Each structure stands twice: as C-alpha cells, then as structure tokens.
Structure 1
Amino acid sequence: MKKTKWIWIWAAIGLVLGIVIFWPSNKGNKEAILEANAVDEVVDTTELQQVHYKYGIPSDNFEIAEGVVEKNQNLSLILARYKVSPAKIHEIAQRCKDVFDVRSIKRGQNYTLFLAKDSLRTPEFFIYEKNALEYVVIDFKETSEVYVGQKDVVKKEHTAKVGITSSLWNAMVEANTDPTLAITLSEIYAWSIDFFGLAKGDSIRVIYEQSYVEDKPLRDFNVKAAIFTNTGKDFYAIPFEQNDKFSYFDEEGNSLQKTFLKAPLKYSRISSGFSNNRFHPVLKRYRAHHGVDYAAPTGTEVYTIGDGVVVKKAYQANGGGNYVTIKHNSVYSTTYMHLSKFAKGIQPGKRVKQGETIGYVGATGLATGPHLDFRVYKNGTPINPLKMSSPPKEPVSPENMPHFTQVKDSLVNLLRKI
C-alpha cells in the first residue's frame, strides 16, 4: 500500500516537472506560428498590390475580349456573338436609358468585354468608349448600375514657331505640329486676321497646353499666349481674366473679340471677291457681285458673324437660292446665300448669337457648285466684307491694367524665346 502511494506521488512530481520543462518550447512554437502567419499576410498584401485594373475593374479575374464597332453594328449584334439572350440585351438597354442611349453606339469606337474564366465565357461587363476620354461601363448584374467613367488625363505644355507659305493648316503639318491647333488659333484671331488671305512670310509663335490620355493626344488646346505676324504686323493674344470673364487681348489691352467675325465659316477658300463688274459663270455676262464667295463642301456649317435678329428666310430661284438675312444693329446687316438647308429653328424674328449656325453650304439658286455667297450691308448699301472694320469689345479696365501688363510682359518674353 505504501509502495503504491509513493508511485502516485512520483508520477505527479514528474508531470509537474514536464510541464515546467516543456513550457518554453511550446511558447516558442506559438510565436513561430504567429510569425509564419505574419509572413503569409505580407505575401498576400504583395499579391494585392500586383492586381491589374482596366476601366477600374480587376482584369486578372476575367478573360478580356476587345473589338471595334463595325458598320451597321449595334449592341445587340455585338452581345449576340457572346450568346447573350435577347431578353438580357433588352434588360441591359432599359437600365442604360438614364445614362447612355445604346442606339448612339458609333462605328469605329472601341469596346471591351470582360468574360468569366469558365467554359461558358459568360459576359460580366461591357465597356464602350464614347470618345478618347470617356467610357460607359455596363455591369451585367441586374442590381448594378450603368455609369460613365473617365480615363486619367495628363496635360503637357508645348511651344511652336511656324512659318506660313500657303495656309496655316499646311504650315502646321510642315512644322510637325498638330494641324487642328490651327482651328483654335483661327477662333482666337477670328476678329483680327483674315485666314483666307494669309501670305507667304506670315508666321506664328504659340505656347499651348494639350491633354493626353494613355499617351495619346486629345484635340483640346489651351492657348496660353501667341504672336501672329500677318503682313508685317504682330497680333498678340494674351489671355486674361477680369470680372470673372476669360478672354484674349492684344498688347494694349484691347479685346481680340470684335463685334463681327472676319468670316462666316471655317476653312474654305475665296472663289470670287466683291466686284461691281464680275462675269457671272451661269448667266455668262458681266454684272455686279456685291459679296464674297467662299467655296466649301456641301453641308459645311455657316454661322452668323455677329449678334442680331433674323429678318428674312426665303428662297430665290433665279439668284441666291436658300438665303438668310440678319440685322445686327441700325447700321449693319448680313446675308448668307445658296444654302443647302437652314439650321433648325431659324425663322424671321429669331435672335441669334455671334458664331451660331444658321445654315449649311449648298448650291441652290444660280450656282455652278457648292459655295456661300456672303454679303454685308452698311446703312442698306453693300460693302466689301473683307474691308469691313469692326469695333472691339470691352478692353482691360484701368484698375486691372497693372496686373495685365505684368502678365503680358512675362508671356511675351517667353514667346520671343521660341
């Protein structure tokens, strides 16, 4: 009995000693496990950082299918290729209504489908690029929204010095400068320079900012300053804001925007000038031509050179064809002839703003080809539109002149260094 009692006592002592001896080892194992878990967590975080996104969607989780909208192709035809049912396509179109009209999908635009990585390759997302900057995301889940996203934009500043031998457009091409910059410049200088009468020896220096998306340039130009030399005279374009209005001014602080535009349409050529004795190409006889003919493709937009009221909208079979007459004030009125059609809403009595489209170039009436016959009347008498002077709008105010002078001097100094 006593022997058995001692056996139990020694067994208990051994158990306690075992716990004491092995406890540090167990504690070390626990720390090792925690450290191992911590390593696992670090690895997982690294993997998360390597996830690739496209249009804000984790693209690694999907199979990507890209395409370009073909002629006569619509959303239904595109999705049908991926076995999307007509019912599902209809449901998607209904969800898009308040955000994007699926009927406006255009030929040549890019689209992308995110497909499930399974044997069915079920479409999960459809992305349509509206333009170089914006895209529409359609999530196929019925509870998800349709939304418009925007790509990241990077702005870059450029300078250009361009000598002109023929047209500004051609000069831009020859100088390896985006020729569409010429359109922005022609709008800024529309009241100062006749872009149909540029001559060899003219030139322009310009500082401008342009946006880039995925390293591709957008055709949005923010002209920060320019000097246009035309027939030996420098025309400055200095951007300045006063009274919460942004505009361009010359070196003396006069606004470049005048009462009238220099021309009623963009990028064309003068096919016939103002004359008291011109040979008519249809009638085959000499008679007065109290206007300027601008040859341009049918459908080219024609806009009013100044604010005013439409006083005539009519058709002249043996003359000007479809024409519009606008009264600008008590002195000046203008007429636009041979239009293929009138702009929507153009009716006698309608007030129009400078630069507003009033019609489209055509060859109605007595005309051998599409062109605009543009006429200006001063106190009821026709005058040569190319020689018409135009008073400037509000100049830089006296109180703003010191600041304007500081801005101008800084920008002109930069332009001279180009």
Structure 2
Amino acid sequence: MTQRFFINIPRLFLFSLIILLISGCDADKKKSEEEETKFDSLAVLPKMKPLNLKYGLPVDSFIVENNTVKRNEFLATILLKYKIPYNQIDLLAKKSKEVFDVRKIKVGNPYAVFMGRDSAQTAHYFVYEIDKINYIVYNLSDSAGISLGQKPVRKVAKTATGAITSSLWNAMTENNTNPVMALELSDIYAWTVDFFGIGKGDYFKVMYTENYVDSVSVGISSIEAALFHHRGDNYYAFNFPEDSVTYNYFDEDGKSLRKAFLKAPLKFSRISSRFSNSRFHPVLKIRRPHHGVDYAAPKGTHVFSIGDGRVSQKGYQARGGGNYLKIKHNSVYTTVYMHLNGFAKGIKKGTKVKQGQLIGYVGSTGLSTGPHLDYRVYKNGKPIDPLKIKAPPVAPVKKEDEKRFKAFYKPLKKMLDELALPVAAQ
C-alpha cells in the first residue's frame, strides 16, 4: 500500500498541473475575448465633434444675432431691445468701468447677442468688438460677469517691393501692398529720407510680418528689414533687438536711423514754398525774405514736434503767422510752427514736448491764402533752411553687441538684395 501511494503522487501532481493549465488558458482566452469586444465597441463609437466656438462661446448652443452699432445707439438702447432690465444694464456698465468704458462704444463696430434656443429666446451674452482683435463679453445672467478676449491672430511673413512713380502711398496700392506700409516706412526713415522729395527712380524693398484675423488683414505687426533707394543712395534699416524688450532700427554700419530731429513736422503733404531771402508774398504782393518751408496740407492735418524740447512761445499774430508755436530744443536749435488752426490739448508756454508729439493742426490763420504750415528752424538764433539741417544721430549699436548685430543683419541684407527689383525701377 505504501509503495502504491508513492507511485501515484506524480500522477496526481501531473493531473493537477494539467487542470491548472487548462483553466489558465480558458481565463486568458476569456480575457482576450473581453478586450477584443472592448476595442470593437470603442471602434464603433462616434467621434466627438469639435466645438464650434466664437468669442469663446459654443455657437451651436445658441441663436446668435450679429449686428453693428448704429448712430445714437448705446449699451442700454441695444440691450433694452433684448428685454434686459435697466437695473441689470446699469450694473453691467458699472462693473465694466475697470475693464472697458461703455461710453466708448463706437458707431459701426460689430456686436453679437447669444440667445437661448428655447421659445423665450432669452439673451444670455452680449459681445462687443472693441477693434478687429479685441472684444468684451458681457454675461447677461444675474452674475453679470465681464471678460476681455482676443481673436486668434495669425502672423504671416511677407516681402514687398515697389517703385515710386508719384507718392509712397500710391506705390503701395500699385504694388498690392498694405497701404499702411507707407506710414510704417515714413516712421522708420523719418530722419534719413526726405519724403517730400521722393520721385521716379526711388524704390523700396521690405521684409515684414502682417497680422490676420479670420483671413482678413488687421495690420502690419513689424518690419524686420527694409531698403529704401532714394536719389541714387541705398538706405538700409534692420530692426535689431538691443535687449528682450527694446528694438531699434540701425543701418548696416550699426548707426541708428533715429536722429535728434525728424525730417519734417507732418506727414504726406507737399512743399508749396521753400526757404528764400526774396519771395513774392501772395497776400502783401511784395518781395521779402521767407525763412521757412511751407507745407500745403488739408486743414486739421496733425503737426508734430521734430524733436524733444520745451514750448518757449505760444501766441497769435493777426498780421503774420496767425496761431504759432516756438519750441526750444537745446542751446542751439529752435523751431517755429505757424498758421495753425489750433493747438493740441495741454500745449502751452513751458510745456515739455517729445519728438513726434502732436502739438497742433494745420490751418490758415494770420496772413495766409490757404491751409498750410509755415515751418522754420533757427540755429543759434539765425534762420536756416529746414531742408538742409543735419541733425546728429542717436547712439549706435553698443560695442558689446557689435558681433551679435553683424550675425543678425547680414542674412537679412542678403535676402533684401536678392529680392527682385520692381519692374519700374529696373
């Protein structure tokens, strides 16, 4: 008996092992079948449809009415049409003050009202577009929440070239370039190019970034590099980052394009009379010195200070310059602006002004036959021709940044030089 018992132990062990293996296989098979079923069920699940958002709100959940602000419409007049109680509108206006002043809602700007899809069509949100990028969302519920938002902005790197045939502005439209580029270039080259003397033979090349919202251009973001060919000379401009926040334009030699004085005190006009020691006066009908430059421009055109300084005189000459300003820039230079229609807010004797600051508006006051600016420059008390003034430049690229600047501008210059010339300039 004892012997038979020991002989059967291996058989029992083997049998048990076989049972365990079979059970394990069945368990694995069952698990595999469960996982297969699980993945099959996931495969047939419908894919989630991405939310259709506008102003950060799910459009499909609402009825959306789009409109524009009409004349004599305000926040109250708009929301009252959607049965928003006046006390609720008043609360929104008060809570909005720190974010956006509702009194600044402009005629022609778009707005949208998000209403529920129920039979009552209750208004839940009011969205006003402050500009092409920024908007404000008003929650019309009891919480009266207010939040600012921005539309997604897409930046597109572009290049443009154009030949000057009449004016810088026309050159942009003739070459299918955003006309705002004319303003941008005039700012960059305000100290180096006489934009009242540009003409045939002049041309430009530009590398820039333009912003788009909903496939519509909303302006030029930045100009990385530019070349302006003027009267046979090339003027380069490279937008060099001096530090993490400060960008300035320098030429290929590292000299700043910003000078102590602007080339002219206003933009996009024409010279109607130049500096002369003997000019026939159109009102007095006599010859006398005209120690300035007359810029013919529409009434109300903005006039800017050509440099930092302080207003030394502000007054009116009935038999002369009409409304005029005199600005002392330093111990050497003084400028005078005459025949102004009026003065900018805050401008008075003793006021400090910055280069490019608005100081007044073109007019026809005093002895004048039409709207224009009589602009004069005095050096050490003596009149000089404003068109021949040579203003000193501001600081060049710092010595410690020279190596970095060279590595920055050289590839940009190469790309500018390789841009094809506009046909009219070839």
Bigger CA drift: 168-177 or 235-244? 235-244
SS in 2 for 1:265: coil
Tell me by how many angstroms 1:396 deviates.
1.8
| Secondary structure, aligned partner of 2:415 | helix
* 2:382 matches 1:381: yes
Q: Which letter does structure 2 place at the counterpart of 1:385?
A: P
Q: Which residue of 2 aligns with 1:94?
A: 94
Whether contact under 8 Å (2:310, 2:328) holds in the other structure is: yes
AA partner of residue 411 (structure 2): S
- Counterparts in 2 of 1:185-334, with a 5 A limit? 185-242=185-242, 245-334=246-335
Distance 1:358 1:171 in 2: 29
The 5 A counterparts of 1:93-132 are 93-132=93-132
The whole-number CA distance in structure 2 between the counterparts of 1:195 and 1:389 is 16
TM-score (structure 2 length as normaliser): 0.86
In structure 1, stretches of 5+ residues that fail to align are 1-26
Contact 2:212 2:219 in 1 (8 A): no
Aligned to 1:51: 51
Deviation of 1:409 (Å): 1.6
1:78 shift after superposition = 1.7
Q: Which amino acid aligns with 1:337?
A: M
- The equivalent of 2:400 in structure 1 is 399
Equivalent-residue separation in structure 2 for 1:242 and 1:55 (angstroms): 36
Determine what percentage of the aligned residue pairs are the same residue: 50
Structure 2 counterpart SS, 1:410: helix
Q: In the TM superposition, what is the alpha-carbon distance from 1:378 to its structure 2 partner? A: 0.6
Q: CA separation of 1:40/1:233 partners in 2, compared to 1, >3 Å: closer, same or farther?
A: closer
Q: Distance in 1 between matches of 2:410 and 2:92?
A: 57
Shift of 1:327: 0.6
For residues 102-153 of structure 1, the C-alpha deviation after alignment (integer angstroms, 9 at most, x for no partner) is 1111011100000111222211100000000000100001214211100111
CA distance in 2, matches of 1:79, 1:205: 49
Q: Is the 8 A contact 1:181 1:221 kept in 2?
A: no
Q: Per the alignment, do residues 82 and 281 of structure 1 end up closer, same or farther by CA in structure 2, a change over 3 Å counting?
A: same
Q: Distance in 2 between matches of 1:255 and 1:352?
A: 22
Q: Distance in 2 between matches of 1:138 and 1:92?
A: 7
Aligned to 2:82: 82
Going from structure 1 to structure 2, the CA distance change for 1:307 and 1:41 (only over 3 Å counts) comes to: farther
Cα drift, residue 39 of structure 1: 5.9
1:271/1:98 Cα in 2 relative to 1: closer, same or farther (>3 Å)?
A: same
Give the AA of the match of 1:200.
K
For residue 173 of structure 2, give the secondary structure of its aligned residue in structure 1. Answer: helix
CA distance in 2, matches of 1:409, 1:116: 58
Q: Scaled by the length of structure 1, what TM-score is found?
A: 0.88
> 2:417 is aligned with what amino acid?
R
RMSD between aligned alpha carbons?
2.3
Counterpart residue number, 2:146: 146
Matches for 1:62-81 after TM superposition, within 5 Å: 62-81=62-81
> SS at the partner of 2:303?
strand
Give the paired residue count: 387
By how many angstroms is 1:50 displaced? 3.1
Moved more, 245-254 or 125-134: 245-254
State the AA in 2 paired with 1:205.
K
Deviates more, 1:362-371 or 1:252-261: 362-371
Give the match for residue 3 of structure 1: none
CA contact (8 A) 2:304 2:358 kept: yes
Q: CA deviation at 1:384?
A: 0.8
Deviation at residue 241 of structure 1 after TM alignment: 2.9
Q: 1:401 Cα deviation (Å)?
A: 2.0
For 2:337, the equivalent position in structure 1 comes to 336
Structure 2, unpaired ranges of 5+: 1-29, 420-426
Q: CA deviation at 1:80?
A: 2.6
Shift of the alpha carbon at 1:172? 0.9
Counterpart residue identity of residue 204, structure 1: F
Aligned AA (2:167): S
